[in-house]
Amino acid sequence: MKKILVINGPNLNLLGLREPELYGNKKYPDLVKYIKNTAKELRLKVKVFQSNEEGKIVTKIQRALNRYDGIIINPAAYTHTSIAILDALKAVGIKTAEVHLTDISKREDFRQISFVSRYAFCSIFGEGFSGYKKALEQFV
């Protein structure tokens, strides 16, 4: 059974509170439950991690080496700012899918830049929770 690490970045823990007109009313525990249920249906083993701290995300990526078959990452605001996360992904060389709940290509100019996209083998934007399902399917 393939093991997938799902990493969620800053403020995703505030789903349901933060800009519900963009992100909807479902809360972060709903997302985690969705990811775990979907992974089970697809016969994947999944670990879900969320942090508001860039360094903790980098460390989690580094510790994934030789432990996970794939990474799904929604770096949230770090998408547009973190070369450290990009470098960590490149260093471990684990197949990575990028997911965003909203379509960052249709948002503010600064949100249209994704450093993670330079490494990820696929990027899924604007699909809400189902974007995670599409990403998980890439590892089946």
Catalogue the active-site residues.
23, 100
Give the span between the Cα atoms of 52 and 42, in whole angstroms: 28
Nearest Cα residue to 99 out of 68, 64, 138, 61: 138
Query: Where do the H-state alpha helices sit in 46-115?
Result: 54-63, 83-92
**Cα within 13 Å of Cα(86), Cβ side:** 13
Beta strands, E only, 9-132: 45-50, 70-74, 96-100, 122-125
Nearest Cα residue to 98 out of 71, 80, 68, 69: 71
